[in-house]
Amino acid sequence: MTSKERAKAAINFQEPDRVPVSYMSNPGLTERLKKHFGLKPDDNYGLLAALEVDIYNYCPMYTGRPLFEPVPGKHTNEWGMRTRWIEHETGGYWDYCDFPLKGVAAEKLADWPMPNPDDFNYAEGAALCEKYPDKFWAIGSPGFGDFMNSSGMLMGVEQMLFSMADEEEEFFNFWDRRLAVQLGILERAIDRFGKHLDMVWIGEDLGTQIAPLISLDMFRRLLRPRHQQLVDLASAHNLPVMVHSCGSSSWAFEDFIDMGVRVADTLQPEAVNMSPRYLKDRFGGRLAFHGCISTAGPVATGTVEETVADCRAKLDILMPGGGYCFAPTHALQDNSPTENVVAMYETARTCGRYRK
């Protein structure tokens, strides 16, 4: 089977020749893996080929004029989110460092600049899809179509949650302006290279490690109607939707199914009600899964043997009957030993085959 055929079968609850595979990683680990496979530093797609990755994704990059004044030592993106490079013992991150909307009166949110959907790079996505036509292409990312995360990155999580609880009209207008832009981005991408696309990827972190981040009622009133617009746009073009959500988030999965969402992403097994067995027994055959190989588990902290055993255990539970895509729970971290990550993907190739 091609990668496209393999992943399509899996998310349609059929058993392909082997489980389809995804890759997400921090830059430091990606650099080490390229060295391991003897690849050039810029050969990103060579690395995906070496790992036999099936699911590729593209999120259009902003190419318009800067909307915000630069801040020395920091990076500001098209939404105004600011990050700076933070070193740690195994590498570093571009981490959120200050919050330009923190303490800003709600009525001022209407003045915050928003990018124009026309100012994103759709040509690159079209070219990549043409270059790798046998791959399963998802458009979007865990940070596409989110509301709580994106506003928390601008004003801090506490202010974001208070604004939701207080149901500030200006705050929700701010959300809807962002939604209009992202609907526009998705519409333009589908228009440019939709014939190559296989799935839409959106995200919203809904849980902590031990409980929901918000109530089900709040999700249904404030978030679900907005996410539904993205799901409906994708569905109008026969594109299934995958929703990324970190933490304990299975409390929302019945709503995902009712909304028409096909795939749940992340699946942190250490979080409450997120174990592979719980998910398979409760939602298997109705919701496909993408993730479950914990970036805080043996791949980061164990031996090669422990990594292999963990991956095999997840495959044994989630593979039967299809509906599973092998993937890390988030970006693989720089503290994951190279040999563990190589073993992780070798296990998917060797133990992830279906018996016909």
Angle at 271 between CA 91 and CA 85, to 5 degrees: 20
Model confidence pTM above 0.95 = yes
> Can you give the pLDDT at residue 308?
98
Half-sphere exposure of 87 (CA within 13 A, CB side): 1
Name all contacts of 339-344 with Cβ < 8 Å and 24+ positions apart.
339/304, 340/298, 340/299, 340/300, 340/302, 340/303, 340/304, 340/307, 341/25, 341/29, 341/33, 341/299, 342/33, 342/36, 343/304, 343/307, 343/308, 343/311, 344/293, 344/299, 344/307, 344/308, 344/311
> Where do the domains of the chain lie?
3-64+103-351
In the block, tokens 């928003």 appear at 114
> Can you give the pLDDT at residue 346?
98
Give the CA dihedral 63, 64, 70, 76, nearest 10 degrees: -50
Question: CATH classification of 3-64+103-351, choosing from 3.30.450.20, 3.30.420.40, 3.20.20.210, 3.90.1640.20?
Answer: 3.20.20.210
Q: Are 2 and 131 in contact (CB under 8 A)?
A: no
Read off φ and ψ for residue 206, nearest 5 degrees.
Answer: -110, -5
Q: Are 249 and 289 in contact (CB under 8 A)?
A: no
Q: How confident is the prediction along the chain (356 residues), in pLDDT tens digits per residue?
A: 999 999 999 999 999 999 999 999 999 999 999 999 999 999 999 999 999 999 999 999 999 999 999 999 999 999 999 999 998 888 888 899 899 999 999 999 999 999 999 999 999 999 999 999 999 999 999 999 999 999 999 999 999 999 999 999 999 999 999 999 999 999 999 999 999 999 999 999 999 999 999 999 999 999 999 999 999 999 999 999 999 999 999 999 999 999 999 999 999 999 999 999 999 999 999 999 999 999 999 999 999 999 999 999 999 999 999 999 999 999 999 999 999 999 999 999 999 999 86
Q: Are 242 and 141 in contact (CB under 8 A)?
A: no
